[in-house]
Amino acid sequence: MNKNNFDINSLIRPNVAKMRPYSSARDEFKDFDSEMIFLDANENPFETNVNRYPDPQQQKLKSILSKQKNIPSNQILLGNGSDEVLDLIFRAFCEPAKDNIITLPPTYGMYSVLANLNNIENREVLLDSDFQPDLDEVSRTADKRTKLLFICSPNNPTGNLITSEKILKLLKTFNGLIVIDEAYIDFASKESWIKKLNEFPNLIVTQTLSKAYGLAGIRLGVCYASAEIIAVLNKIKPPYNINELTQKFAIERLENIIKIKSDISLLNDEKIGLLKALVEVTFIEKVYPTDANFILIKVDNAEKRYSQLLQKGIVVRNRSSQPLCVNTLRITIGTASENKKLITILKTLE
């Protein structure tokens, strides 16, 4: 899809297209640092450090992300976790009971939860045995009411990247919006697709501070897209969706990018060690390659091994109910001592 034949207006829900953004008190007056007297938002004037509403546009946080990622602030939207960003995308573009989306299982479960919640048909096109999308099947499955295609890369729970060739082909041919969920991209050997935003107006990239950035508890997800798409999402987001504490905490962490990078590098080193050690465990039949901070393994009996690990105090995720994932467990990379303990225990199981 190129810029000449793409019209975002044809994809927006009619009611959303007509909406004007809700204007909050803090939208109308943004000058937080001045010595003004704020009697406009029915806040409590007594200082608690959080008695004022947070910046609804999170300008400071976005300007840091903008510099680090080399993407203008007007192409960034922040959400209460990337789960909120994904929900906003559904609500902006998918007309309940009329439109449909395509997902590529086995994949992240929230796409189907959000489709259900928003009363949108979820058309599932299974990945192939290499966990790559079947492009012919995607094109056969799409119709005029297919608004979104979700590509999770690196994919959860399989851990692999979707190949650039496949994604490029989809970006060029798919008639709706393509959402590439890059929750795990910071662990991957390939670059983010955010570099391609200006080339593909139908591309939306979501990322999160929950994984590599170590901030799952503050709930901060990021959406990168064209300024036009971001403007649509901005119209429908709750005015103060990113709270003050989250904004402060994220700014602090992002300002120490060296520490983030060193944590990622430590985890990737741990992953290499864990991959080698898992291959040697007798009941593990397959260790899948991974570009994420987790490893999918196929075992002889997932339920049995899951329970044995639980009894020893180690919680992993049994993914056997997912298509193509019979007898698989998903293991997150922990600290060096946690991983060592995991391997020691795995080797003792009978």
| Binding to ligand PLP in span 307-336, by CB under 6 A | none
Binding residue (CB under 6 A) for ligand PLP from 11, 92, 120, 152? 152
- Written as one string, the DSSP assignment of 201-220 is TTEEEEEESSSTTS-GGG--
Q: Where are the alpha helices (DSSP H) in the chain?
A: 14-18, 25-28, 59-69, 82-93, 110-117, 135-141, 164-173, 227-236, 244-254, 257-279, 302-311, 336-348
Residues in the chain: 350
Query: C-beta of 132: minimal distance to ligand PLP in Å?
Result: 17
| Binding to ligand PLP in span 257-276, by CB under 6 A | none
Task: Tell me if 252 sits within 8 A of 220, measured CB to CB.
Answer: no
Residue 81 as a binder of ligand PLP (CB under 6 A): the answer is: yes
Binding residue (CB under 6 A) for ligand PLP from 221, 230, 287, 296? 221
| Binding to ligand PLP in span 172-191, by CB under 6 A | 181, 183
Q: Which two tokens stand for residue 179?
A: 């959402």
Residue 218 as a binder of ligand PLP (CB under 6 A): the answer is: no
Residue 108 as a binder of ligand PLP (CB under 6 A): the answer is: yes
**Closest residue (Cβ) to ligand PLP?**
81
Task: Tell me if 12 sits within 8 A of 230, measured CB to CB.
Answer: no
Binding residue (CB under 6 A) for ligand PLP from 75, 103, 146, 156? 156
Residue 117 as a binder of ligand PLP (CB under 6 A): the answer is: no
User: Judged by CB, which is closer to ligand PLP: 204, or 346?
Assistant: 204
User: Judged by CB, which is closer to ligand PLP: 11, or 218?
Assistant: 218
Binding residue (CB under 6 A) for ligand PLP from 57, 75, 82, 318? 82
Which of these segments, 41-49, 208-216, 240-248, 307-315, binds ligand PLP (CB under 6 A)? 208-216
- At residue 192's C-alpha, the angle toward residues 190 and 193, to 5°, is 120
**Residue labelled with tokens 């508890």:** 217
**Spatial distance between the Cα atoms of 76 and 21, rounded to a whole number of angstroms:** 16
Q: Total residues at the site for ligand PLP (CB under 6 A)?
A: 12
User: Judged by CB, which is closer to ligand PLP: 100, or 107?
Assistant: 107
- Written as one string, the DSSP assignment of 263-307 is HHHHHHHHHHHHHHHHHT-TTEEEE---SSSEEEEEES-HHHHHH
Q: Which residues contribute to the site for ligand PLP (CB under 6 A)?
A: 81-83, 108, 152, 156, 181, 183, 208, 210, 216, 221
